[in-house]
């Protein structure tokens, strides 16, 4: 949220005066409230010029603070109530924002304690999408033959025999100059036609056969089909072990919906861009069409295409990362949140929100069926299911003959790896057997890079990220030291910046790159690869690596959580968890739950086809609840303990949390501001405010940070409380404040 003193004044007060006379002369005129995609407190009223027909959701240009700004008609009012208003400049055209999208913007603004324009900005992600697709001329053969044939002409004719192409593409495909193509066009051998540069997406075919479901899957599919035919909002939780066929089951819901309502739009949220490729392939196999794909890395052209097609209702199935939630659907009938427990659904930077929570809310507003799927549902969703608020669909076993992997621990106190190594003897012995059989191992360690800490052997100096309290992580792959919080990066220095000792900087502790090095050393003939977000960048690289793994071309894969989620590697039979304790210690309230989920997901990669799988967890605390529950396959025992702790402490889902973070470049002014903000906290029953405290990450990018934590009983509307609080304080321009509803990160 921005400090309110930085907001431009409301135009309706800014521009009154001279226009008074006009409106007096012409009597009452209809006006429109325009919402701009900017951090302004509300929509502003503008006069609608004579002859302009507008409806809510139309895109317009209107003067704002001395310039022309693009906004959306939020409301059309019969008259301006005698006020003199600035006029709307012109209508922009393009697909109107649907009512569901507009209501969602308003709701999300209230819930997230943000100005509505900030949410609108998430929606309006491509302004060029408001214009129709540009057209390009493509050429195909007319059937006529040139009178004089040349090798160059022949090459063009061959290239043009396939799909129609632009002149430039034809010339490139034929390896000739553009003039050859032009010559053939002039002769009438090639004929041109205009076609949109951004083609529409193919419609899904719901009548294709899916896999033959087993009895339990079929029952689950029936439940979902019933929800589809009932119509309207419902939330279902598909709670099924890894590899139980959750995806196949929700495909049935999609097929049923598209059969009933061919125009219906469906949103599938996925936690990881790395996962989208294989899911896209499965959609294509099932429905004969690839979904429209949306995430932060798609190019501008694709962004424009997807946005326009979604807004005009033509794109039916959209798969995407959390930001796809804000796309301008016009007929959203079903939202699926795959791996609903995944922490990446929580956006912690900029606009903070949890995509699962917002997806359920959007489903409610749009009257859409909402399906959450996971092998390790969040406690929040499980409690909702048990209370009957969600329909609980269970898939307790793996599909077909595949069995859940056997899980065992390796007590590192009994089998300590050699100094500077991270793999214990029992794990290596097991990897050896797997390798001998021609099967694959996955070594899982949720730590990117080579070493999580770099220190000087001469003076003990630890390499820290500038202006931040974080250690720099060594990446040997790139030879750099990187801050995973701010993205700061530098080449690894030859000498210690503190004492000047040469070659004294050493990486301490393991990251995936170091474990891979150890695996290569242990298995010199094996193909060892690293899979993490910084070694495998971009969709193509991920797809290539996943493909090689699926085909069995890799023997040992060393990966972070990106490797542990969702993949189907039929020859993978051993998962070694290098450090199962990692994350258990964290002060975060979800540390135990998250570790448990991660380990179940990682172990769940093993033995997904006909060969049985095994997971080995290296740990110093084999008696820890999360580890014990995992080994025993007893989720209930683990969750019960977790539940009791949360209930006792009134933590989510038994209570509500919100955080307020203030940050500023000067610690003293921040301190004063925090004190004033603290004094302004409203008293309310069932609400406790803690802080201000220095945030655990007290300095980030040169800004000091203070945190408040608000803990409320479940019945309290914590967003309303935060809105009331924020309305009572005036925050200076140099200080940034941001509200985080249901925070996940406590940094």
Ligand X SMILES: Nc1ncnc2c1ncn2[C@@H]1O[C@H](COP(=O)(O)OP(=O)(O)OP(=O)(O)O)[C@@H](O)[C@H]1O
Q: Under the criterion CB under 6 A, does residue 376 sit at the interface with ligand X?
A: no
**H-only helix segments in 497-560:** 512-522, 539-550
**Residue 31 annotated as binding site:** no
- Min dist CB 267 to ligand X, Å, is 17
Question: Which listed range, 186-194, 245-253, 265-273, 322-330, lies at the site for ligand X (CB under 6 A)?
Answer: 245-253
DSSP state of 463: P
Q: Can you spell out the DSSP letters for 412-429?
A: TTTSPPPTT----HHHHH
List contacts with Zn ion (CB under 5 A): 456, 458-459, 461, 496, 498-499, 501
Partner from Zn ion, ligand X, none binding residue 76, C-beta < 5-8 Å depending on class: none
Q: How far apart are CA 597 and CA 579, in angstroms?
A: 14
**Is 10 annotated as a binding-site member?**
no
Q: Which residue has the tokens 């993490």?
A: 532
By DSSP bridging, strand 67-77 and strand 90-91 are unpaired
213 binds, among ligand X, Zn ion, none (CB under 5 to 8 A by kind): ligand X
To the nearest whole angstrom, how small is the minimum distance from the Cβ of residue 375 to ligand X? 4
- Name which position in 124, 213, 237, 393 contacts ligand X (CB under 6 A): 213
Residue 499 among known ligand-binding residues: yes
**Residue 334 labeled ligand binder:** no
Out of ligand X, Zn ion, none, what residue 496 binds, judged by CB under 5 to 8 A for its kind, is Zn ion
Using the rule CB under 6 A, is 240 a contact of ligand X?
yes
Q: Which stretch binds ligand X (CB under 6 A): 115-123, 239-247, 351-359, 710-718?
A: 239-247
Q: Choose, by CB under 6 A, the member of 12, 80, 242, 378 that binds ligand X.
A: 242
Q: Please report the beta strands in 252-379, taking only residues with DSSP state E, as ranges in sequence order.
A: 265-269, 292-294, 317-320, 332-338, 346-347, 353-354, 369-374
Place of tokens 């008293």: 683
| Inter-CA distances, 553 with 61, 504, 520, 587, 679, Å | 56, 38, 15, 40, 63
CA dihedral sign of residues 179, 185, 186, 187? positive
In the list Zn ion, ligand X, none, the entry touching 461 (Cβ below 5 to 8 angstroms by class) is Zn ion
Q: Does 483 belong to an annotated binding site?
A: yes
The one of ligand X, Zn ion, none whose footprint includes residue 458, by CB under 5 to 8 A per kind, is Zn ion
Contact residues for 181 (Cβ-Cβ < 8 A; gap 6+): 139, 156, 167, 170, 171, 174, 190
The entry of Zn ion, ligand X, none near residue 566 (CB within 5 to 8 angstroms by kind) is: ligand X
Q: Which does 245 bind (CB under 5 to 8 A by kind): ligand X, Zn ion, none?
A: ligand X
Residue span 592-611 as binding mask against ligand X, x where in contact by CB under 6 A, dash where not: ------------x-------
Q: Which entry of ligand X, Zn ion, none binds 289, CB below 5 to 8 A by partner kind?
A: none
Tell me: does residue 128 bind ligand X (CB under 6 A): no
Which of 245, 257, 256 lies closest to 213 in space, CA to CA? 245
88 φ, ψ (degrees, to nearest 5): -65, 140
Q: Is 652 in the site for ligand X (CB under 6 A)?
A: no
Start-end of H helices in 194-299:
215-230, 246-260, 273-287
For ligand X, give the closer residue by CB, 399 or 454: 399
Residue 400 within binding range of ligand X, rule CB under 6 A:
yes
Asked if 568 touches ligand X (CB under 6 A), the answer is yes
Strands lying side by side in the sheet with 59-64:
44-47, 31-35, 67-77, 59-64, 90-91
* Residue in 85, 176, 399, 556 binding ligand X, rule: CB under 6 A: 399
| Nearest partner of 323 among 305, 287, 298, judged by Cα | 298
Among 243, 507, 576, 743, binds ligand X (CB under 6 A): 243
Place of tokens 């048990």: 386
Partner touching 247 among Zn ion, ligand X, none, CB below 5 to 8 Å by kind: ligand X
The residue from 245, 328, 417, 607 that contacts ligand X (CB under 6 A) is 245
**Looking at 198, 248, 256, 555, which residue binds ligand X (CB under 6 A)?**
248
For residues 357 and 321, what is the distance between their CA atoms, to the nearest angstrom? Answer: 14
Which three-class secondary structure state does DSSP give residue 476?
coil
CB of 344 to ligand X, least distance (A): 15
405 counts as binding ligand X under rule CB under 6 A: no
- 197 φ, ψ to 5°? -65, -30
Q: Which is nearer to ligand X, 70 or 276 (CB)?
A: 276
Beta carbon nearer to ligand X, 395 or 558: 395
Q: Given the structure tokens 């794990």, which residue do they identify?
A: 427
> Contact residues for ligand X (CB under 6 A)?
211-214, 217, 240, 242-248, 375, 399-400, 566, 568, 604
Binding residues: 456, 459, 483, 496, 499
């Amino acid at each position: 949220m921005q400090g309110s003193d930085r907001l431009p004044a409301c135009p309706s007060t800014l521009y009154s005066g001279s226009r008074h006379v006009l409106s007096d002369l012409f009597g009452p005129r209809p006006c429109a409230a325009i919402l701009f995609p900017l951090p302004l407190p509300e929509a502003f009223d503008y006069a609608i010029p004579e002859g302009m027909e507008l409806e809510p959701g139309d895109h317009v240009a209107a003067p704002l603070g001395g310039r022309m700004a693009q906004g959306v008609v939020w409301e059309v009012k019969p008259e301006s109530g005698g006020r003199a208003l600035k006029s709307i400049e012109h209508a922009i055209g393009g697909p109107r924002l649907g009512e569901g999208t507009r209501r969602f913007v308003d709701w999300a603004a209230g819930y997230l304690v943000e100005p509505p324009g900030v949410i609108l900005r998430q929606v309006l992600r491509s302004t060029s999408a408001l214009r129709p697709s540009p057209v390009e001329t493509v050429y195909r053969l007319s059937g006529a033959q040139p009178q004089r044939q040349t090798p160059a002409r022949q090459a063009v004719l061959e290239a043009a025999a396939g799909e129609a192409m632009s002149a430039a593409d034809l010339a490139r495909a034929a390896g000739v100059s553009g003039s050859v193509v032009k010559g053939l066009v002039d002769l009438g051998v090639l004929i041109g036609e205009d076609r949109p540069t951004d083609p529409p997406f193919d419609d899904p075919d719901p009548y294709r056969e899916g896999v033959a479901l087993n009895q339990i899957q079929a029952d689950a599919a029936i439940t979902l089909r019933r929800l589809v035919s009932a119509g309207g909002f419902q939330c279902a939780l598909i709670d099924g072990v890894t590899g139980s066929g959750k995806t196949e089951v929700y495909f049935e819901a999609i097929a049923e919906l598209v059969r009933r309502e061919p125009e219906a739009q469906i949103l599938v949220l996925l936690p990881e861009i790395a996962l989208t490729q294989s899911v896209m392939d499965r959609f294509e196999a099932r429905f004969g069409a690839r979904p429209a794909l949306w995430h932060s890395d798609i190019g501008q052209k694709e962004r424009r295409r997807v946005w326009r097609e979604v807004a005009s209702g033509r794109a039916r199935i959209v798969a995407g990362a959390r930001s796809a939630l804000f796309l301008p659907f016009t007929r959203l009938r079903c939202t699926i949140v795959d791996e609903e427990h995944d922490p990446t659904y929580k956006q912690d930077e900029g606009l903070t929100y949890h995509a699962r929570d917002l997806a359920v809310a959007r489903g409610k507003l749009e009257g859409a069926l909402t399906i959450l799927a996971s092998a390790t549902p969040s406690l929040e969703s499980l409690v909702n299911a048990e209370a009957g608020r969600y329909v609980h669909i269970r898939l307790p076993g793996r599909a077909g003959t595949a069995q859940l992997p056997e899980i065992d621990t390796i007590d590192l106190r009994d089998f300590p790896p050699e100094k500077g190594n991270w793999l214990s003897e029992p794990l290596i012995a097991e990897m050896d057997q797997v390798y001998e059989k021609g099967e694959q191992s996955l070594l899982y360690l949720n730590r990117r890079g080579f070493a999580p800490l770099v220190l000087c052997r001469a003076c003990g100096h630890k390499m820290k990220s500038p202006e931040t309290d974080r250690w720099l992580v060594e990446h040997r792959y790139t030879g750099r030291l990187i801050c995973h919080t701010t993205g700061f990066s530098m080449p690894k220095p030859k000498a210690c910046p503190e004492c000047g000792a040469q070659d004294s900087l050493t990486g301490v502790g393991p990251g995936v790159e170091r474990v891979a090095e150890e695996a290569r050393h242990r298995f010199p003939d094996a193909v060892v690869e690293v899979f993490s977000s910084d070694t495998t960048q971009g969709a193509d690289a991920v797809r290539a690596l996943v493909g090689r793994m699926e085909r069995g071309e890799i023997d040992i894969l060393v990966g972070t959580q990106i490797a542990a989620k969702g993949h189907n590697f039929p020859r993978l039979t051993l998962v070694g968890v290098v450090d199962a304790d990692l994350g258990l210690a964290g002060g975060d309230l979800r540390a135990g739950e998250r570790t448990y989920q991660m380990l179940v997901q990682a172990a769940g990669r093993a033995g997904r086809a006909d060969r049985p799988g095994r997971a080995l967890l290296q740990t110093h605390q084999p008696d820890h609840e999360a580890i014990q529950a995992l080994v025993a396959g007893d989720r209930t025992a683990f969750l019960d303990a977790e539940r009791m702790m949360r209930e006792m402490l009134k933590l989510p889902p038994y209570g509500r949390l919100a955080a307020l973070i203030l940050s500023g470049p000067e610690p003293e002014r921040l301190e004063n501001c925090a004190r004033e903000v603290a004094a302004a906290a409203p008293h309310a029953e069932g609400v406790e405010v803690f802080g201000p405290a220095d945030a655990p990450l007290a300095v980030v990018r040169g800004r000091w940070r203070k945190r408040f934590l608000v803990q409320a009983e479940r019945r309290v509307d914590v967003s309303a409380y935060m809105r009331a609080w924020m309305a009572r304080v005036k925050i200076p321009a140099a200080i940034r404040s941001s509200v985080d509803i249901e925070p996940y990160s406590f940094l």
